[in-house]
Amino acid sequence: MNFLLDNLALMGAGIGAGIAALGAGVGIGKIGGSAVESIARQPQESGKIQTAMLIAAAFIEGVALFSVVVCLLIYAKGNA
């Protein structure tokens, strides 16, 4: 029975980490696409747009990393 729970914890952690990575990829892709559109419309504001884009991408990466760590902690607790 414990073997089954360990495998379920591992599978859940893997799926959760995958979903977090997928969400981060989609979010950063949308930010990049919107930034390129904005720069094409207003090239004189490209510096401000790029700065805002990089800050937003960094926050998304931080949240994705945090969620992967939470998934690993869930797995570790399932193995304890």
Domains by residue range for the chain, with CATH: 2-79 (1.20.20.10)
Return the DSSP state at 42. -
* Per-residue pLDDT reduced to its tens digit, 36-76: 999 999 999 999 999 999 999 999 999 999 998 988 888 78
Residue partners of 14: CB distance under 8 A and separation at least 6: 71
Indicate the pTM of the whole model.
0.79
pLDDT surpassing 80 at residue 2? no
The predicted pLDDT at position 78 comes to 66
